[in-house]
A and B are shown apart, each in its own frame.
Chain A
Amino acid sequence: MLTRRVFLVGTSALVGACALPWQASRAAEAPIKLRELYNKDRSFSDLALANEGRRITVEGYMAPPLKADARFFVLTKMPMATCPFCEPGVEWPRTILPVYTRRTVDVVPFNVPITATGTLDLGEFTDPDTGFWSKVRLGNARYERT
């Protein structure tokens, strides 16, 4: 059976580091789940590694923003009215994904499903504005209700 993961990884392997426009848009068309970015041992999955630097679409929920007029929010895999992980200095959970947006965030209630599409960035990063430390994030992102 051809799973979405196999398809994406296989496609990425074929094109190597040179993503073609149709390939990127193909990835963006198929929302992935946050948990698919990780292996059980907390390392990044093949899917995440294959899509590093590419635009992907991830489904989830918008945690209540850290501050008003931000261009940043935290995507959670489940609805979270408060985000206990959305603070600096905690161990990195696999249940959230920081999203840096093109425009100021228009808040979506925490229990409304959304998809976020952006460039997948892997590796440690500390946001100079918020102090938010992350191991993975989406950049140059947009989002919409599903």
Chain B
Amino acid sequence: MFHRLSVSLLATVAISGTAFAQDVAQSGSQMYTDAEAALQQRLGETPNTHRARNVILFIGDGNGVASNYMNRLWAGQQAGGLGDDYVQPQEAFPELALVKTYNINAQTPDSAPTAGSMNTGVKQRFNLINLGENAITEDCTTEADNALTLFSELVTDAGKSVGIATTARLTHATPAAVYAKTAYRNWEGDVPAECTNSKDIATQLIDAMEAGTVDVALGGGARYFVPKGVETPNGGSGRRENDVNLIERAQADGIQVVADMAGLAAAGTDAPILGLWSDSHASYEADRPESEPSLADMTQKAIEVLSQNENGFYLEVEAGRIDHANHATNAKRAMIDGKAFADAIALADEMTDDADTLIIVTADHEHAIAMNGYCGRGTPIDGLCYDVANEGIMHADEPVLASDGKPYTVVGYLNGASSVMIEQADGTYTAPEGRPEITQDEAQDLDYTQQVLIPKSSESHSGVDVALYAKGPWAHLFDGTIEQNYIFHVMNYAVNNGE
């Protein structure tokens, strides 16, 4: 008995203390020593309680835990590795939380109230932006009494600058949450005729830039700044029903309006910048011409301009098109945009100091996306699921077959337009020929849309928690499972407290 107890105690000491690591059979494994090194690093960390001069909020739209996993493997495999051991820049941040994303009246959230909750500190109702809980979606009479105070307004009062960078339209839900208050997220260029006291979202952006609550706004969506029939800076046509040309108004007010990479590069740091690269959303990264700034290009310029303010800044950066590619069940474009998102995060981290800049990386919501199995290591994340090999590390040469004898992709969605269910002449949906047979070449094509079950015109969000990664002042306040609106409270605390 005594002998057995002694052995047990020795084993416990050996496992818990590195001094005895040599007594553990696997202690020579690199996996073991890497994990020990990670532990030692965490033991040496102390909370950063400095006052945050800057706050950068990165939002990967629709980039939930599953989508983030997909991005990780894509980036890692593009770098020549197996993918799953790759570390995206945000994944090296010290703090992590899971975020509950539901809206006041929606178990499955939409991007307007989720971004609004991060910018105001309270959850909001489906499809509206920055209005209190008694507001009604699409009822403009409820706007005035429910207008919320924005983080951009608070930090502007504190003397900071504010910026937005997005690959979506600047009037789209997530960027709009920085500056707009509206009963309906789709009122991007016009409001209903009876809403005489309301302003469309584009007008609210120019108002905010004139007021100084937004200093840099970079993204797509020029069509909502130009009247119908009038050419946009990108060669398209305006969509505004009223005759106010907001671009001319901005220019008259001294705002630099730029339309491409050359214009962005030439823009000075001494005046506000409005960058509009496209009439609607900016390009997917996979389709982006060199003349159009990437998300990293936008982030770099925004930080260069905003950091001129010695009082600091708040910058919201959105990778908007991860969401759009997921809606299209086009996983490949989503993961390519996910890599562009990671590149922007890495650049922002390099350009700022952890001592005074709180960087938060999160998503607004998850999608109805999941990964199939069981795939061997190194299986291309953008292709078919290849079997696990019994010897070695790499996957087997043959794809895993489903019960119907056909292969399937790693990435899957639950619903969407690429359903395997086909509409029949009588309006019913069925799959009389079963699932389509797919080859690896087809699955890895840029335009491939994953096989899904439930037919819908557009794949949906889901209510599953998303991750939040953080570093910098007060980042340690992000821990455990949090409500999405709590993000605002940490940001607001961080800019107002500490040495």
Contact = CB atoms under 8 A, between A and B. Distances in A.
B204 to A, nearest CB: 24
A109 B430 CA distance: 11
Interface in A101-123: 109-113
Contact of B457 (A33, A39, A82, A91): A82
Given A39-B289, A89-B237, 13 more contacts: A33-B445, A35-B287, A35-B446, A40-B287, A40-B288, A40-B290, A41-B291, A79-B417, A79-B418, A81-B456, A81-B457, A110-B423, A112-B422
Given A35-B446, A41-B291, A91-B280, A111 B419 contact: yes
Nearest to B420: A111
A111 B237 contact: no
Contact of A91 (B237, B417, B418, B458): B237
Contact of A111 (B283, B328, B417, B424): B417
Interface in B271-305: 279-280, 283, 287-291
Interface string B157-172: 0000000000000000
A78 B223 contact: no
A105 B31 CA distance: 61
Nearest to B236: A91
A4 to B, nearest CB: 12
Contacts of A9: none
Interface in B286-337: 287-291, 328, 330
A40 B280 contact: no
Interface string B428-471: 00000000100000000111010000011110000000000000
Interface in A9-47: 33-35, 39-42
Interface string A69-80: 000000001111
Given A78-B417, A81-B457, A111-B418, A40 B423 contact: no
Contacts of B290: 40
Contacts, number: 54
A39 B417 CA distance: 26
Contact of A78 (B283, B287, B418, B419): B418
Residue among B328, B417, B424, B458 with the highest chain A CB neighbour number at 10 A = B417
Given A41-B291, A81-B456, A109 B422 contact: yes
Nearest to A33: B447
A109 B288 contact: no
A82 B458 CA distance: 9
Interface string A118-142: 0000000000000000000000000
Contacts of B417: 78-81, 110-111
Interface of B: 223, 236-237, 279-280, 283, 287-291, 328, 330, 417-419, 422-424, 436, 445-447, 449, 455-458
Contacts of A81: 417, 455-458
A123 to B, nearest CB: 16
A40 to B, nearest CB: 4
B441 to A, nearest CB: 12
Interface in A60-97: 77-82, 89, 91, 94
Contacts of A39: 289
Contact of B330 (A78, A94, A109): A78
Given A40-B287, A91-B223, A78 B236 contact: no
Nearest to A81: B457
A40 B277 CA distance: 14
Contacts of A80: 417, 457
5 contacts: A78-B447, A78-B449, A81-B456, A109-B422, A111-B417
A21 to B, nearest CB: 30
A11 B472 CA distance: 59
Contacts of B436: 113
A91 B280 CA distance: 9
Nearest to B417: A79
A2 to B, nearest CB: 16
A39 B290 CA distance: 11
B289 A40 contact: yes
Contacts of A94: 287
Nearest to B425: A107
Contacts of A42: 289
List 4 A-B pairs, minimum CB-CB distance, nearest first: A81-B457, A40-B289, A79-B417, A91-B236
Contacts of B288: 40
Contacts of A112: 422
B423 A109 contact: yes
